[in-house]
Amino acid sequence: MIEFHGVEKEFPGRGGGAAVKALDGIDLNIGRGEIFGIIGRSGAGKSTLIRVVNMLERPTSGRVTVAGIDMNALDAAGLRAARRGIGMIFQHFNLLSSRTVYDNVALPLELAGLKRSEIRAKVEPLLDLVGLSDKRDRYPAELSGGQKQRVGIARALSSEPKVLLCDEATSALDPETTTSILRLLADINAKLGLTIVLITHEMAVIKEICHRVAVMEAGRVIEQGDVFDVFTAPRHPTTRSFVSSVVGAELPDTLVERLSAEPLPGGNPVLRITFKGALANTPIISQLTRRFGLDLNILHGRIDHIQGAPFGTLVVEAVGSAEAVQAAITFINVNNLSVEVLGHVPANLRAVG
């Protein structure tokens, strides 16, 4: 649906200084009907990337196609027509304070020259879709942040786009409202078959609704793939940093302080066992205890679901002989689970989280 081919974007440097490269050779394909997340820290280039889709920012080089249309090659009239098929919502809503909810949603249709009856036929179902039929005559100042974003979504859908671009659409919202907006977007994706591109700096947002994700850093895509695969086996250090706090892979500070890289006299190794997919229900702890005579002290752990599939990590202190621990590690690997030795702790360490 959306393809980036060698896309680069440079901005002039301040005061005649060196140009700033915001996008550096982006190659990316976004499929029709999927929810695609793009994540990165501030300055990574993610907002610039989404703005080259509808040519709010023209790439310095490379090509962007949407539904087979080369966006770079369009003249002004062609670009206006193409943009009607690309909706966009923003972090700060961009509503007109002097217009009611109904009139904000109707604005793009008025500008397109539709009759009042045609506008009404489009706007009223959209207000119902986003749950704001009872707020149609309210003004933005009378709405909550979540309600304002729902108006923005309805307005973006008024031209019946095939693509919806979401630029940090939930960043200004509280967690509960964020969840409701993300569920609305997922519902719209399912009902309308809309392709949604979602820009965020929060991995929890990606986890909630995205099918695939691209991670950006310094204008480049450093990792991409199915959300489940990226969450359960991140390859790049930046991706691991994003993922760790969401899936519970980040260790509590109290445990980190006690970990030693080298074995301790009378101490025990600390293992992190990773469960995913169908293997998440494997009773591995009881098996290790019975087979190898180990006592496993649980120090930290979390079980979650990503894209409907279970995933979890369990950090344990393994109390037993070195031979038994090594045999247990081999057994875990043979059973297609993941295990790593995080370090060593003094004996009798209590659970820390």
Is 86 a member of any domain?
A: yes
Residues 190 and 300 in one domain: no
Position 256 scores a pLDDT of 84
Position 278 scores a pLDDT of 67
- Interval 104-163: pLDDT, tens: 999 999 998 999 999 999 999 999 999 999 999 999 999 999 999 999 999 999 999 999
Residues 203 and 311 in one domain: no
Q: Please give the tally of structural domains in the chain.
A: 2
pTM as predicted: 0.83
Q: How many CB atoms lie within 10 A of CB 323?
A: 9
Q: State in Å, rounded, how far the first CA of the chain is from the last one.
A: 44
Among residues 318, 310, 240, 242, which one has the least CA distance to residue 275? 310
Domain end point (choices 246, 264, 292): 246
Position 290 scores a pLDDT of 93
Where do runs of H (alpha helix) occur along the chain? 46-53, 76-83, 101-111, 116-129, 145-157, 175-192, 203-209, 227-232, 237-247, 253-258, 284-292, 322-334
Tokens of 4: 């980036």
Residues 234 and 221 in one domain: yes
Among residues 327, 317, 257, 344, which one has the least CA distance to residue 287? 327
Q: What is the CA radius of gyration of the chain?
A: 25
Residues 170 and 257 in one domain: no
Q: List the chain pLDDT tens, one digit each, 353 residues.
A: 999 999 999 998 887 778 889 999 999 999 999 999 999 999 999 999 999 999 999 999 999 999 999 999 999 999 988 998 999 998 888 899 999 999 999 999 999 899 999 999 999 999 999 999 999 999 999 999 999 999 999 999 999 999 999 998 888 888 899 999 999 999 999 999 999 999 998 888 999 899 999 999 999 999 999 998 898 888 899 998 888 777 666 777 888 888 888 888 888 999 988 887 666 677 888 999 999 999 999 888 888 888 777 888 889 999 999 999 999 999 988 887 888 899 999 876 554 44
Is 350 a member of any domain?
A: no
Is 297 a member of any domain?
A: yes
Is 351 a member of any domain?
A: no
Full domain range(s) for residue 340: 248-345
CB-count burial class (<10 Å; 0-12, 13-18, 19+) for 220: middle
Q: Compute the distance between CA of residue 187 and CA of residue 38 in angstroms, rounded to an integer.
A: 20
Domain end point (choices 230, 246, 262): 246
Reduce the secondary structure of 146-187 to three states and give it as a string.
HHHHHHHHHHHHCCCCCEEEEECCCCCCCHHHHHHHHHHHHH
**Residue 263: CATH number of its domain:** 3.30.70.260
CA angle (325, 331, 333) in 5-degree steps = 105
**Residue 158: CATH number of its domain:** 3.40.50.300
Position 352 scores a pLDDT of 47
| Lookup result for tokens 């490379």 | 62
